[in-house]
Amino acid sequence: MTSHTIWEVPGGIHPPENKAQSMAQALVECPLAPEYILPLNQHIGAPSAPLVSVGQAVKKYQLIADAEGIFSAALHAPTSGTVSAIEERLIAHPSGLSAPCIVITPDGLDHACSLEPCEQPFELDHASIVTKIRNAGLIGMGGAGFPSAVKLNPHTNTPINTLIINGTECEPYITADDMLMQTQASELLEGVRLLAHTLGNPANVLIGVEDNKPDAIAALQEAAHTANQRHNCDINVVSFPTKYPSGGEKQLIYILTGQEVDSGKIPASMGIVVQNVGTAVAAWRAVRYGEPLIERITTVVGESLQVQRNMRVRIGTPMNFVLEQNGFMASQSARLIVGGPMMGYALEQTCVPVIKTTNCLLAPSHSEMPEAPPQQACIRCGHCAEACPAGLLPQQLYWYARSDEHEKLEAHHLFDCIECGACSYVCPSSIPLVQYYRAAKGDIRKTAEDKLKSDKARERFEHRQERLAKEEAAKEAKRQARKAAAELNKAKMAAQQAVGAVSPPPAAPANTTANHDPSAPVIPAIASAEELVANAATAAKAQQDPTLDKARLSRTVESLVSSIERLKAQMAEATTEGLEASRIEKMAAKLKQTELKAQEAQAKLDAFDKTLAAGSQVDAAAQKMMASPNAAAEKTLNSLQKRLSKAQELHLDAVNENKPSADALKQGVIKLEQKIEEAKQALNEAQSTASSSNSSSSEPQKPDAAAAAIERAKQKVQAAASMTPEQKAHAAVESLQKRLAKAQERYTKAQETHDENVEAFAIGVEKLELKLKAAMEAQKEGSEQA
Amino acid sequence: MAFLRASSPHTHNPNTTGRVMREVLLATIPGIAVLTWFFGLGTLSNIIIACAFGLGLEAAVLKMRGRPIAFYLKDLSALVTAVLLAIALPPASSWWLIGVGMTASIVVAKHLYGGLGYNPFNPAMVGYVVLLISYPQYMTLWLAPENLSVQGAIFDITTLFELVFGGLASTTMDGLTAATPLDVFKQTAGLTAQDIYAHKAIFSQGLFAGAGYEWVNVAFLFGGLYLLTRKVFTWHAPIAMLAALALFATVFYDAGSSSSGGSPLLHLFSGATMLGAFFIVTDPVSSATSNRGRLIYGALIGALVYIIRVWGNYPDAVAFAVLLMNFAAPFIDYYTVPRTYGHKKAQRATQTGGQ
């Protein structure tokens, strides 16, 4: 064994190791639990997608949830049994979160489905090994839970030249990896060879172990010696002085290679891959025996346990079951920690499951881990800076975190903090420094997210403004074009009439113009009906796969009912245990909430059938809509009338209160009245088209309506064309007179009823009078010319 | 069943601020013993009076600030300030002198700035400088050490009481006091170093840096080394200060001519050098934070001490040098942020934002 150069990381601490207590006893198998809870998201990345349904029977090793996306991992049944629920359960998470889990009730038979072993794993190519590892649901077992297949498939331009196997286990108390290295050294070496093979046999293959594990080092060295001789490889077992946190990935890389991973980069970018010893063994078992990851070694330790040891625990075993197996005395337990005392997180409940990354359950007594003393003032002693393995200035970070100086925090590289807790550990003023950093990191991330969001909103707004401006411009352009066309037509017609005094008017050009103008009000009515139909269709589509939805709803109801039962049981337990009233009250409140939820879900489920029926109603409505374009027109008219009455009300209010907006409102009222007029016309026309075509199907109606409109327009145009200018002027005057009479009538009526719009009417009458005068003059002139 | 919800880490080393302060107090014992041996009970009376003022003022201010008194008194920081000021004052100082000094230390320099951890200046040195500037006639009178011909050391309780509580006639005082080694060296500019060592009692009676004073410094050096082994502070600031002082003294020793600034040994082992290096410069609150920063901070204090001693108006300069560098500490911090793992270069803390 060649000696390997060791680089020393700066900082670090030497907390009491406390590793002896769990190594005194042999590794044991944890018996079958009454229930297995398998969270769908045990890894970094997207949760896996369940492949089983409630009530389905599963076998041990069976794939029950598949990876969804690259950064995800598959999940397998830890034993045979039935899927009793797929629901939200409390998981091992620092925030006490619930997350979707597959719950399996074992049948006690532990029937396994057949596995696919591979006799010659070293003859497999890279892709098939990675696939096998991926299918086995392997994730980094050191704690982060990064899907292993992704790490073995690094997308960098740098070839991998170093594979580091992390057997450091620097956290106090934890001995799971130590136990694994001692009991499965030869398998571990096979795993290391396999990983090296997968990564294209990098030049350096190093297994790093702290020197406080002499037995593990001896076992590994022997196994490595054998492997090196037999397979002509060069696997190096390197031991180095014990210091927390040597086991951090970046720290270990520095210790073994003297290189630092650039901030924000991954080790693969410099040709280094780090894997945990547990991952190496699991990879070997996955490829060689086809065995998916369904169990791991977990250290169960702490003075509130009668037995402290390492156990082989199946993934999904509830922690309270594991603790029970070791004589857990809950009353003596100060807290329950998943992971080590430096970086582990405390749990409130024991009903959470062991997952793929749970390397330790620590249940210390009160004397073992007393509550932290109250925080004192920072005296800037600098012990934290000496302990920091990342070369940060923890006390400066603390001051900046307290004063929310985010820029300063980032300038002091807050995000290079690995939250190892060394600074908090040494602080003589017992300041929970790491807690401040976590909070500050959260704040900074949130601020960044908010900024992103507001930036996006601003962009959206700007785009919208731009789009509106464009639309407005386009409309304006069209309006201008129409105006120009109309003037052109007028001029043409005048010219034709001049000619027409001699010859009869030609029908063709009139026909072309008629094609456009009179049918115009009909087209929007049809278009809006079509739109409505389309909307109804999409609404119906949104409810696709109604059976699936129903299943989901019923599943929700079931799981809610079961959680109600569970809560009730918990409450009963709490009352018998004589817990504080506030806690029980909380539980009661939760129970009530859940019951309400259940009721809601039931109601939804009931309503679901009705919705299904409603779906067909929607279809019918859609057909009806298609059959009658005039219904749409009527609708528009109705809504317009409603708007008008509202606008009038508003105007009235404004006038009463002498608001400056009164004028603007009045304009609005007038406009609305005009619109109503238009809509009425459209309705009339639509009605006439509808009556003109009595066919039951809606399809041929459209051309009919259009044809009728064209027909009518032709008549109008012909009538207009046959009129002399004199007659035309006369007609104009007549119509104006009619309108004036009507307006006057309205005006007088308004005066009688003391309507608020009297003035508006008065103005209207005046305008009409002016117009009439102009028209009469024009008529006079016309007759004089004649 | 619900367990305590707490954030990691869940363990803590047994070190506390109170313990750090207790170590500092313990480390002053050899120095106090030697001071008492050479200068009599005056040192002890200083310490007792200063501690009484320290605790009383701290408690009063804490009460006024509405803070829990016992909790804060237990951190022992007031006692450390009191002991350091008491050692720095001439033995058997008047009670009111000590009172004024302690008020300046505890009330003004410490609590008006926010209490422990927030004070930009070393409280003991603020108290000392206030007294030195306000009452120079009392502050420059040092009792003569025990083994000198002038019998200055007081082991007699009644004389001590008279000195501390009743105003003693200045003539009597004159009989008890003698110039300190640094005073002597400064005021006898016409003589070569060799002559001074041969003819001035305070040097001829001593070994290398003045009778009595050299042993006081040796005792404080031991106390400081104890603190170093206990890892109460790092070596950077004190060693940098001593090295800088020694370097200046060597460069300007001038082979002991009549214009010599004094030998490195004289500078290292007389005055408040060792007390300053290990008990004042190492005050974490008012010093630079990073190790590199502390090297600069300490070295500049050492340089200032020599400059003020030799070319300035005061025979000793630790207090002024420390306070001047307290001003500079935040500035030093800005430029000495350590290089973080994974970063090519240390960043200046003045550069924020835009990378």
pLDDT exceeds 80 at position A50: yes
Q: Which of B144, B178, B212 is where one domain is finished?
A: B178
* Highest mean pLDDT pick, A120-124, A466-470, B228-232: A466-470
- Residue B347 placed within a domain: no
Residue A67: predicted pLDDT? 86
The per-residue pLDDT for B165 is 80
Boundary (domain end) residue, out of B125, B153, B178: B178
Mean predicted lDDT score pLDDT of chain A: 82
Q: Is B5 on the interface with A (CB under 8 A)?
A: yes
What's residue A163's pLDDT?
A: 93
A191 confidence band (pLDDT: 50, 70, 90): very high
- φ/ψ of residue B157, rounded to 5: -60, -40
Strand A57-58 relative to strand A63-66, pairing: unpaired
Residue A640: pLDDT band (50, 70, 90) is confident
B63: in domain:
yes
B351 in a structural domain: no
Non-local (6+) Cβ contacts of B219 within 8 A are: B30, B31, B33, B34, B35, B274
Distance from CA of A89 to the nearest CA of B (A): 16
Shortest CB distance from A379 goes to which of B4, B284, B343?
Answer: B284
Mutate which: B341, B347, B352, vs A, most A CBs within 10 A: B341
Question: Do both B122 and B240 map to the same domain?
Answer: no
Residues B33 and B135 in one domain: yes
pLDDT beyond 50 at A61: yes
Residues B303 and B216 occupy one common structural domain: yes
| A-B contacts at Cβ under 8 angstroms | 184
Distance CA B150, CA B157 (A): 19
B12 at A interface, C-beta within 8 A: yes
**B340 domain residue, yes or no:** no
Examine the domain organization and report whether B72 and B221 are in the same domain.
no
* Chain A touched by B345 (CB under 8 Å): no
Smallest CA–CA distance, residue B19 to chain A, in Å, is 8
Contact A416 B342 (CB under 8 A): yes
| Smallest CA–CA distance from B338 into chain A, residue | A391
Q: Looking at chain B, which residue has its C-alpha nearest residue A251?
A: B341
Determine the average pLDDT of the residues in A498-510.
Answer: 53
Average pLDDT over residues A318-328: 92
Question: What single DSSP character describes residue A112?
Answer: B
Tell me the sheet residues that pair with A361. A300, A338
Whether the CB-CB separation of A362 and B3 falls below 8 Å is answered with no
Kindly list the residues from chain A whose CB atom is less than 8 angstroms away from the CB atom of residue B343: 262-263, 413, 416
Do residues B142 and B213 share a domain? Answer: no
What's the whole-number mean pLDDT along residues B100-125? 93
Helix (H, G, I), strand (E, B) or coil at A289: coil
Do B158 and B27 reside in the same domain of the chain? yes
Mean pLDDT, residues B134-158: 71
* Percent of chain A topping pLDDT 90: 36
Burial profile B28-53: b = 16 or more Cβ within 10 angstroms, e = fewer: bebbbebbbbbbbbbbbbbbbbbbeb
Contact list in B for residue A334 (CB cut-off 8 A) is 3-4
The two structure tokens encoding residue A647: 């606008």
Q: Looking at A72-86, A672-686, B23-37, B167-181, which range is the least confident one?
A: B167-181
Chain A residues near residue B342 by CB distance under 8 angstroms: 250, 260-265, 390, 416
Q: Nearest 10 degrees: CA dihedral of B129, B132, B138, B142?
A: 80
- Tell if the CB–CB gap between A383 and B339 is shorter than 8 Å: no
Interface test mutation site (partner B, options A379, A417, A425, max chain B beta carbons within 10 A):
A379
Q: Give B295-314 pLDDT, tens digit per residue.
A: 999 999 999 999 998 888 88
- CB–CB of B287 and A438 under 8 A? no
B289 touches chain A (CB under 8 A): yes
A194 CB contacts (<8 Å, ≥6 apart)?
A121, A122, A129, A280, A283, A284, A287, A288
Q: Do B166 and B247 fall within a single domain?
A: no
- B14-58 tens-digit pLDDT: 888 888 899 999 999 999 999 888 888 888 999 999 999 999 999
Minimal CA separation from A162 to chain B, in Å: 18
- Select the residue of A13, A380, A411 nearest B349 (Cβ to Cβ): A411
> Helix, strand or coil for residue B44?
helix
Q: Please indicate whether residue A779 or residue A559 has the higher confidence score (pLDDT).
A: A559
Task: Check pLDDT > 50 for residue A701.
Answer: no
B203 and B98 share a domain? no
Is B105 near chain A, with CB under 8 Å? no
Contact A413 B347 (CB under 8 A): yes
Mutation site for A-interface testing, chosen from B12, B339, B344 by largest number of A Cβ within 10 Å? B12
What pLDDT, on a 0 to 100 scale, did the predictor assign at position A724? 66
Average pLDDT over residues B311-340: 88
Within a domain: B260: yes
Q: Are residue B116 and residue B185 in the same domain, yes or no?
A: no
pLDDT at residue A511 in the model: 44
Please tell me if residue B340 touches chain A, with a CB cutoff of 8 Å: yes
Residue B280 has pLDDT above 80, yes or no: yes
Is the pLDDT assigned to residue A214 strictly greater than 80?
A: yes
Nearest CA in chain A to B348: A411
Count of structural domains, chain B: 2
DSSP three-state, residue B160: helix
Does the distance separating the beta carbons of A413 and B340 come in below 8 Å? yes
B287 located within any domain? yes
Chain A partners of B10 at a C-beta cutoff of 8 Å?
335, 337, 341-342, 344, 346, 362, 364, 369
First to last CA, chain A: 124
User: Is B17 in Cβ contact with A407 (below 8 Å)?
Assistant: no
Cβ partners under 8 Å of residue A767, min gap 6: none
Q: Which domain holds residue B35?
A: 16-178
DSSP state for residue A286 in the 8-state scheme: H
What distance in Å separates residue A231's CA from the closest CA in chain B?
Answer: 36
B116 touches A at CB < 8 Å: yes
Q: Give the C-alpha separation, A241 to A246, whole Å.
A: 9
Average pLDDT (A129-155) is: 85
Lowest mean pLDDT: which of A313-327, B106-120, B174-188? B174-188
Check whether A505 has a pLDDT greater than 50: no
Residue B347, chain A, CB below 8 Å: the answer is: yes
Inter-chain touch B341–A421, beta carbons under 8 Å: no
Mutation to test the A interface, candidates B5, B8, B122, most A Cβ within 10 Å: B8
Q: Which residues of chain B lie closer than 8 angstroms to A429, CB-CB?
A: 16-17, 117
Q: With bands split at pLDDT 50, 70 and 90, how would you rate the model's confidence at A737? A: confident
Question: Same structural domain for residues B162 and B192?
Answer: no
Q: How many Å is the maximal CA-CA distance in chain B? A: 85
Choose the final residue of a domain: B178, B201, B216: B178
Comparing A467-481, A490-504, B62-76, the range with the smallest average pLDDT is A490-504
| Residue B345 forms part of a structural domain | no
Complex ipTM value: 0.84
CA distance B227 to chain A (A): 13
Dihedral pair phi/psi, residue A76, rounded to 5°: -125, 155
For chain B, how far is it from start to end, CA to CA, in angstroms? 50
Mutation for A interface: B3, B7, B10, most A CBs within 10 A: B10
Cβ–Cβ below 8 Å for B20 and A428: yes
Mean pLDDT of A26-36: 92
> For residue A168, is pLDDT > 80?
yes
A253-262 average pLDDT score = 91
Q: What is the mean pLDDT of residues A122-129?
A: 89
Inter-chain CB proximity A262 and B342 less than 8 Å:
yes
Question: Within a domain: residue B208?
Answer: yes
Chain B positions in Cβ-Cβ contact with residue A380 (cut-off 8 Å): 117, 284-285, 287, 289
ω into A245 cis (within 30 of 0): yes
What is residue A561's three-state secondary structure? Answer: helix
Residues B129 and B62 in one domain: yes
Q: Looking at the predicted structure, is the pLDDT value of residue A673 above 60?
A: yes
Q: Which amino acid is at B34?
A: V
Q: Is B9 on the interface with A (CB under 8 A)?
A: yes
Q: Let me know whether B138 and B252 are in one domain.
A: no
pLDDT at A695: 44
Q: Inform me whether the pLDDT recorded for A725 exceeds 80.
A: no
Give pTM, 2 decimals.
Answer: 0.68
Using the Cβ of B341 and the Cβ atoms of chain A, whether some distance falls under 8 Å is answered with yes
